[in-house]
Structure 1
Amino acid sequence: MKRALVLTLAATLGLTSAAGLGAFTATSASAASSVTIDLLSINDFHGRLSAEGVIAGAAVLAGAVNHYTALNPDTRLISAGDNIGASTFTSFIQQDKPTLDALNAMGLAASALGNHEFDRGRADIDGRVRTAAAFPYLAANLYDTATGRPAYDQFSISVIDGVRVGFIGAVTEQLPTLVSAGSLPGLEVRSIVPEVNAVADRLSDGDAANGEADVVVLLVHEGAATSGVGSSTDTSTFGRIVSGADANVDAIVSGHTHQSYTHTIPVPGWPAGLDRPVIQAGEYGETIGHLSVVVDGATHRPQAMTAELVPLTNPNKTPRFTPDPAVAGIVSAAEAYASVPGSVTVGTITADLNKARQSDGSDNRGGESTLGNFVADAQLEATADIGTQIALMNPGGLRVNLTYASSSAKDPDGNVTYSEANAVQPFASTLIALDLTGAQLKAVLEQQWQPTGGGRPFLKLGVSRGFQYLYDPTAPKGSRVLRMTLNGAALSATTTYRVVANKYLADGGDNFTSFTGGTNRSDTGRIDLDSMIGSFTKHPAVSPDLAQRAVGVHLGASAMGGFAPGDTVTMALSSLLFSGGEAPAGSVEVLYRGEVIGRSAIDPAVVDTTDEVGRATVTATLPGDGEAGGAVLTVRVPATRTSIDVPITVRAVAPLAASALTDGNAQNFGAVSITPAAAAAGTTVQVQVAGHEGRTVSVVGYAPQMPLTTGVVAGGRVGVRIPAGYSPGVHPVAVYAGDGSLIGWASVTVAARGRL
Structure 2
Amino acid sequence: MKRTLALTLAGALCLAGCAGWEASSAPAAQAASTVNIDLLSINDFHGRLAKDGIIAGAAVLAGAVNSFTASNPNTRLISAGDNIGASTFTSFIQQDKPTIDALNSMKLTASALGNHEFDHGRADVDGRVRAAAAFPYLASNLYDSATGRPAYDQYSVSVVDGVRIGFIGAVTETLPSLVAVDALPGLEVRSIVPEVNAVADRLSDGDTTNGEADVIVLLVHEGAATANIASSTDSSTFGRIVSEADGNIDAIVSGHTHQSYAHSVPVAGWPAGLQRPIVQAGEYGETIGHLSLAVDSVTHQPHSLSAELVPLTNPDTSPRYAPDAAVAGIVAAAEAVAAVRGAVSVGSISADLNKARQNDGSDNRGGESTLGNLVADAQLDSTRGVGAQIAFMNPGGLRVNLGYASSGPGDPDGNVTYREANNVQPFASTLIALDLTGAQVARVLEQQWQPTGTGRPFLKLGVSRGFEYSYDPSAPAGSRISRMTLDGLPLNSAATYRVVANKYLADGGDNFSTFAAGTNRADTGRIDLDSMVEYLKHNPAAGPDLAQRAVGAHFSPGVAGGLTPGDSFTVALSSLLFSGGEKAATTVELSYRGAVIGHASIDPTIVDTTDEVGRATITATLPGDGDAGPGALTVTVPGTGTAIDLPITVKPTAVLPVGGLTDGNRSAFADVSVTPSPAPAGSLVQVNVPGHDGRPVTVVGYAPQLTLTTAAAVAGGRVTVRIPAGYAPGAHPLAVYAGDGSLLGWTTVTVTPRARI
Q: Please report the TM-score for the alignment, with normalisation by the length of structure 1.
A: 0.61
Instruction: Write the distance in 2 (CA, Å) between the matches of 1:344 and 1:547.
Output: 31
Q: CA deviation at 1:51?
A: 3.3
SS in 1 for 2:64: helix
Task: Specify whether residues 239 and 694 from structure 1 end up closer, same or farther in structure 2 by C-alpha distance, changes over 3 A only.
Answer: farther
Conserved in 1, the CA contact under 8 Å of 2:262 and 2:280? no
* Superposition deviation, residue 178 in structure 1: 2.5
CA contact (8 A) 2:590 2:598 kept: no
1:139 to partner: Cα distance: 1.5
Identify the residue that residue 260 of structure 2 maps to in structure 1. Answer: 261
| Residue 532 of structure 2 is aligned to residue 532 of structure 1 | no
Where do 1:258-657 residues align within 5 Å? 259-262=258-261, 264=263, 266-267=265-266, 269=268, 277-294=277-294, 300-301=301-302, 303-310=304-311, 312-343=312-343, 373-375=373-375, 403=400, 417-421=417-421, 448-449=435-436, 465=465, 467-469=466-468, 483-485=485-487, 529=533, 532=536, 538=541, 549=549, 627-629=625-627, 631-633=631-633, 644-646=644-646, 650-653=650-653, 655-657=655-657
Across the aligned residues of Structure 1 and Structure 2, the Cα RMSD in angstroms comes to 6.1
Report the counterpart of residue 749 of structure 1 in structure 2: 748
Compute the displacement of 1:306 (Å). Answer: 3.0
Give the CA deviation at 1:118: 1.5
Does the CA-based 8 Å contact 2:376-2:391 persist in structure 1? no
Distance change >3 Å, CA 650–CA 462, structure 1 → 2: same
Letter paired with 1:335: E
Aligned partner of 1:328: which letter?
A
Deviation at 1:113, TM superposition (A): 0.8
The Cα of 1:470 is off from its aligned counterpart by: 5.7
Residue by residue, what CA displacement relative to the aligned partner does 1:184-237 show, whole Å, maximum 9, x if unpaired? 111012233443344445556666666455554332323455556676566655
Residue 124 of structure 1, CA deviation: 2.1
2:129 corresponds to: 129
Compared CA separation, residues 551 and 296, structure 1 to 2 (3 A): farther
**CA distance, structure 2, for counterparts of residue 292 and residue 125 of structure 1:** 32
> Are residues 1:107 and 2:107 paired?
yes
Q: How many residues align?
A: 594
Secondary structure of 2:40's aligned partner: strand
d(CA) in 1 for partners of 2:737 and 2:675? 16
The alignment partner of 1:289 has SS state of strand
CA contact 1:566–1:697 (8 Å) conserved in 2: no
Counterpart-to-counterpart distance in 1, 2:117 and 2:538: 29
Partner Cα distance (1:654, 1:670) in 2 = 19
From the superposition, tell whether residues 546 and 51 of structure 1 become closer, same or farther in structure 2 (CA, over 3 Å): farther
Identity %: 55
Larger radius of gyration: 2
Change over 3 Å in CA distance of 1:134–1:71 after alignment to 2 = same
Distance between the aligned counterparts of 2:131 and 2:256, measured in 1? Answer: 24
The match for 1:439 is: none
Note the C-alpha offset of 1:83: 1.4
One of 674, 695, 704 as aligned partner of 2:672: 674
Q: Quick check: 1:703–1:732 contact (8 Å CA) kept in 2?
A: no
Q: 1:71 corresponds to which residue?
A: 71
Q: Which amino acid aligns with 2:146?
A: A
1:659 match: secondary structure? coil
Q: Counterpart amino acid of 1:169?
A: G
Report Cα offsets for 1:129-158 as digits up to 9, x if no partner. Answer: 212212111112211111222211223333
Write the distance in 2 (CA, Å) between the matches of 1:715 and 1:292: 85
Partner amino acid, structure 2, of 1:529 = V
**Distance in 2 between residues matched to 1:564 and 1:245, nearest whole Å:** 69
Question: What is the deviation of 1:55?
Answer: 3.3
State the shift of 1:378 in Å: 7.0
What pairs up with 1:130-209 in 2 under 5 angstroms? 130-200=130-200, 202-203=202-203
Deviations along 1:431-458, whole A, 9 cap, x unmatched? xxxxxxxxxxxxxx997549xxxxxx99
Summarize deviations over 1:75-118 as a string: whole Å, max 9, x none. 22121212123334443444333222211110111111112212
- CA distance change for structure 1 residues 551 and 117 in 2, over 3 Å: closer, same or farther? farther
| CA shift for structure 1 position 62 | 0.7
Secondary structure of 1:55's aligned partner? coil
Q: How far apart are the structure 2 equivalents of 1:162 and 1:345? A: 55
CA distance in 1, matches of 2:461, 2:436: 11
Partner of 1:47, secondary structure, is coil
SS of corresponding position for 1:124 = helix
Residues of 2 paired with 1:694 and 1:247: CA distance? 79
SS at match of 2:147: coil
In 1, Cα distance between equivalents of 2:750 and 2:396:
77
Q: What is the CA–CA distance in structure 2 between the aligned matches of 1:695 and 1:268, rounded to whole Å?
A: 73
Asked whether the 8 Å contact 2:670–2:689 carries over to 1, the reply is yes
Alignment partners' CA distance in 2, 1:512 and 1:63: 32
- What is the deviation of 1:63? 0.7
CA pair 628-736 structure 1, distance change in 2 beyond 3 A: farther
Superposed CA deviations along residues 240-276 of structure 1, whole A, max 9, x for unmatched, are 555655655554433334x342153754646777665
Which residue type is aligned with residue 106 of structure 1?
A: M
Aligned to 1:521: none
Q: Check the 8 A contact 1:624/1:708 in 2, yes or no.
A: no
The one of 724, 734, 737 equivalent to 1:735 is 737
Output one character per residue of 1:300-350: Cα deviation in whole Å (capped at 9) or x when no partner.
Answer: 34544232241x334444332211122223233333444433345777997
Partner of 1:433 in structure 2? Answer: none
Specify whether residues 668 and 48 from structure 1 end up closer, same or farther in structure 2 by C-alpha distance, changes over 3 A only: same
Secondary structure at 2:103's aligned position in 1? helix
Q: Which residue of 2 aligns with 1:505?
A: none
User: Which SS does the other structure have where 1:135 is aligned?
Assistant: coil
Change (3 A) 1:510 1:424: farther
Tell me the CA shift for residue 713 of structure 1. Answer: 8.8
Q: Residues 337 and 736 from structure 1, CA distance in 2 versus in 1: closer, same or farther, beyond 3 angstroms?
A: same
Q: Structure 2 CA distance, aligned partners of 1:150 and 1:372?
A: 45
Would you say the 8 A contact 1:400–1:423 is kept in 2? no
Gaps of 5+ in 2: 1-26, 357-367, 438-443, 446-459, 472-482, 492-499, 501-519, 525-529, 554-558, 570-574, 579-588, 601-606, 613-617
Relative to 1, partners in 2 of residues 1:299 and 1:666: Cα closer, same or farther, differing over 3 Å?
Answer: same
Residues 715 and 666 of structure 1: CA distance in aligned 2, closer, same or farther (over 3 Å): farther
Task: Tell me the SS of whatever aligns to 1:158.
Answer: strand
Instruction: Please give the secondary structure, in 2, of the residue aligned with 1:76.
Output: strand
**Hey, what does 2:494 align to over in structure 1?**
none
Q: Which of these residues, 663, 682, 685, is aligned with residue 683 of structure 1?
A: 685
For residues 58-82 of structure 1, what are the alpha-carbon distances to aligned partners after superposition, in whole Å with 9 as ceiling and x for unaligned? 2221111111222233322121212
Structure 2 residue aligned with 1:21: none
Please give the alpha-carbon distance, in whole angstroms, between the structure 1 residues aligned to 2:261 and 2:523: 32
Taking the aligned partners of 2:691 and 2:324, their CA distance within structure 1 comes to 85
1:62 is aligned to 62
Q: Measured at CA, do residues 563 and 124 of structure 1 come closer, stay the same or move farther in structure 2, by a change above 3 Å?
A: same
What are the superposed Cα offsets for residues 567-587 of structure 1, whole Å, 9 maximum, x if unpaired? 999xxxxx9999xxxxxxxxx
Does the Cα contact within 8 Å between 1:677 and 1:747 map onto a contact in 2?
no
Contact 2:344 2:418 in 1 (8 A): yes
Residues 633 and 225 of structure 1, relative CA distance in 2, 3 Å threshold: farther
